[in-house]
Amino acid sequence: MSQPALQVTNLAVSFATRRGDLAAVRGIEFHVMPGEVLGLVGESGSGKSITGLATMGLIDPPGRIVSGSVKVNGHELVGLSEAELRKKRGREISMIFQDPSTTLNPVLRVDTQMIEALRAHEPGLSTRAAREKCLAALAAVGIPSPEERLLGYPHQFSGGMRQRLAIAIALLNRPAVLIADEPTTALDVTIQSQVLGEVQQLAAETGTALVWITHDLSVVAGLADRIAVMYAGRIVETGTVTDILSDPRHPYTAGLIASVPSRNRRGARLAQIAGTTPSLVAMPTGCPFHPRCDHADAVCRAEVPPPRPVAGRTVACHHPLTAHATA
Ligand SMILES: Nc1ncnc2c1ncn2[C@@H]1O[C@H](COP(=O)(O)OP(=O)(O)OP(=O)(O)O)[C@@H](O)[C@H]1O
Ligand code: SF4
Ligand SMILES: [Mg+2]
């Protein structure tokens, strides 16, 4: 088997506050192979963006990476200087931010932004050669009339097209890894899946490893190769899409799947997981899911379950479900 394009091991990020250090994410472990798509799924506040930002080396004070390793094509990123990281960003690892305005400058024409991104890594590139690359990149992400679009401004693009534009820019330098954080202005799930489908094809062709961050399991259900489910700052279950969707072993994953509307159950009431996600300042002892879990016992309340192999995937639970059980 070849080497993972991205390997994250035991990653933890904390924020310094007046009440002391708050762990936003911890024990984060996942890998993505070249050309593969990993769906990083979880509710709001579960730590998806922090995981993406930490992978990019973009955690600013009062936040910091407390421990862990992030390797791109085998090379460690944690501990590199800002100047060294800047050289890696765009060319080796690239991110599409949840807030599109972070990536796209509203006052610059699309061609100016794209040529700038190219020249950041290839200073001597001629304008003509750069324009050719930009046109190809826009066409590759399914933006119609690229010649015309290149002369426009980001606000002239619809939500879906703006996301495609951010992806085109992020992919310009053919990075080994692309992390796409779902835009805040929740796009239609159908558009999200469509964009992901196109980017997935592109990633497969270029060998880019893709991490697709979303709070909606149905966006990545049909398109990701593997899924990592986050809850309260931890990855609770990681496995192939088929394993996770058809046979979840973590009670939280099972609850999440039960709450996704399916064609078969149209009109039926969605099963909601009772209770709410814990906040960082009031994290329960032991398993963070125990206040909401039907299977919780004394061990669950006392000890954090470490991730371990269960039925071909990784599950962080003291009492993983058995095959086809329900939460
Ligand atoms: N600058 C910060 N200072 C303190 N806490 C923060 C900061 N940024 C994020 N957090 C906390 O870290 C946790 C994880 O946040 P994160 O943004 O990664 O969630 P998310 O899964 O991306 O949620 P969403 O789906 O809403 O984007 C949250 O509890 C959040 O409040
Ligand atoms: S460790 Fe216990 S509380 Fe946590 S998910 Fe598993 S069974 Fe439920
Ligand atoms: Mg987020």
Per-residue confidence in pLDDT tens, the chain, 327 aa? 689 999 999 999 999 999 889 999 999 999 999 999 999 999 999 999 999 999 999 999 999 999 999 999 999 999 999 999 999 998 999 999 988 777 888 899 999 999 999 999 999 999 999 999 999 999 989 899 999 999 999 999 988 888 899 999 999 989 999 999 987 666 778 888 888 888 888 888 889 999 999 988 988 988 899 999 999 999 999 999 999 999 999 999 999 998 876 644 555 556 678 888 888 888 999 999 999 999 999 999 999 999 999 999 999 999 999 986 555
pLDDT at residue 260, rounded to an integer: 73
- Its CATH architecture, for the domain 1-92+175-188+206-263+270-327, is 3-Layer(aba) Sandwich (3.40)
Taking the CA of 55 as reference, the closest ligand is: 1
Three-state DSSP at 139 gives: helix
Q: Which residues hold their Cβ within 5 A of ligand 3, which is an ion?
A: 49, 98
Q: Is 166 exposed, middle or buried (0-12, 13-18, 19+ CB in 10 A)?
A: buried
| CA-closest residue to ligand 1 atom 10 | 24
Query: What is the residue type of 39?
Result: G
Given ligand 2 and candidates 229, 235, 273, 289, which is best to mutate, with the most ligand atoms within 8 Å of its CB?
289
Q: Is 294 left (phi over 0), alpha (psi -120 to 50) or beta?
A: alpha
**Rounded Cα distance, 234 and 5, in Å:** 22
| Ligand 1 pocket member 46 (CB < 6 A) | yes
Task: Report yes or no: 167 and 96 within 8 Å, Cβ to Cβ.
Answer: yes
Residues of the chain with CATH 3.40.50.300: 1-92+175-188+206-263+270-327
CB under 6 Å to ligand 2: residues? 251, 287, 289-290, 293, 295-296, 300, 305, 317-319
CA angle 230, 231, 237 (to 5 degrees): 50
